[in-house]
Amino acid sequence: MTDDRTSPSPAQALAGIRVLDLSRVLAGPWATQMLGDLGADIIKIEKPGAGDDTRGWGPPWLADGEGRETRESAYFLAANRNKRSVTIDMAKPEGQALIRRLAQTSDVLVENFKVGGLKRYGLDHDSLAALNPRLVYCSITGFGQDGPEAGRAGYDFMIQGMSGLMSVTGSPESEPQKIGVALVDVLTGLHAAIAVLAALQQRQRTGRGQYVDLALFDVAMASLANQALNFLVGGTAPRRLGNAHPNIVPYQAFETADGHLILAVGNDAQFARFCRIADLPEVAGDARFLANAGRVAHREVLIPLVAAALKRQTTGEWLAMLDTAGIPAGPINTIAQAFAEPQALARGLALSLPHVLGGMAPGVRSPLRLSDSPLDAPLAPPTLGQHTDAVLAEVLGLSAEERARLRSAGVL
């Protein structure tokens, strides 16, 4: 395979930083994709012949330039842009040696093996820190490196359940619901990227790398935000409220004459304006509803009154009036409708990236926008092993003959 990656622009924030990515599926790849967006050189190590588990998580599959179905899954494409794929079998001693050499040239390593899983290969933190004391080593696991659950595998769905997140998701009448994307994995990837950046900044002062311990369970618990504090302060476990908010009223989805909308009244002044345009003078003058605390306490009385008013006109009519009045509100879009929103079009959120197999690979634009270190145009996610020869020659100086020998031995 050819290497179509050019050097990142020196203006990019992380230009010159090399990340050795031993992770797969979502949380780790999401973190390294963010670092790659910022200009880091991401070398993704994958098992020969198989690669990242998500390569097989289809359909849907990417089409090549002739419209033929490839075996590049949409799931893999979601988390692996701006990376170079190198196939190395870490179960083989020569493969372990190659990864150790790559780690010696790297600034960051990200992995999401089970606790202790890389020690048998000599690729654990202690082993690699002895070779490269400046290495920032980030481990992502389900439950962290200590505690009674440390040895368990962790998956987004089960962590959503264990953390309490599902207990506050869904309607009161339904069973607990998971979020529609693997959000704990995504949030863990974000936290991992933040921790790596902090460790790199610390290294500027100390000259030493450090170990980063990230757990999906910890991230899920921390991300409960106000719901966690509602419990810790109030002593009562929050309950499922469907689309309603536990601390703000009215702040939920409502039915209109032709569909639904989200009304997100954030303060008392907005509520007063809403009552005027909704023709609810009796509500506006009711002492129970003047302040948010009262609206929360009396939501069972207030919400039916608001719901009845909103059913009188269409979604479009309400959104126009609410926008004019400065009251936060919006539609409930499908994903197709979201990408068609004028704002999404203006911000260029849908990408079309040239792919090595021909044709274009869709993508979603990074939300990171930096004025002095703008992101380069992203590169499509790599095919399996696309950059093996280029990286081993460039970074480790391996000759074509040596690479051919390793390939015939099943190492590459």
Residues classed as catalytic: 185
Q: 390, 384 in Cβ contact below 8 A? A: no
The answer to whether the beta carbons of residues 134 and 108 sit under 8 Å apart is no
Place of tokens 């010159």: 16
Q: What is the dihedral of CA 104, 105, 111, 115, to 10 degrees?
A: 10
Q: What is the spatial distance between Cα 125 and Cα 118, in angstroms, rounded to a whole number?
A: 9
User: CB of 186 within 8 A of CB of 30?
Assistant: yes
CA dist list (Å): 397 to 42, 88, 123, 128, 273: 18, 16, 21, 20, 69
Spatial separation of the C-alpha atoms in residues 174 and 183, rounded to whole Å: 21
Q: Using CA atoms, how far apart are residues 44 and 24, in angstroms rounded to an integer?
A: 9
Residues 292 and 11: their CA atoms lie apart, in Å, by 47
Residues forming beta bridges with residue 258, ordered by sequence position:
none
Are the beta carbons of 277 and 325 closer than 8 angstroms? yes
DSSP string, 177-214: ---SS-HHHHHHHHHHHHHHHHHHHHHHHHS---EEEE
DSSP H or E stretch at residue 331: strand 329-331
* Nearest to 65, CA basis, from 353, 358, 361, 356: 358
CA 250/CA 72 separation, integer angstroms? 44
Contacts (Cβ under 8 Å, ≥6 apart) of 165: 159, 178, 179, 184, 220, 223, 224
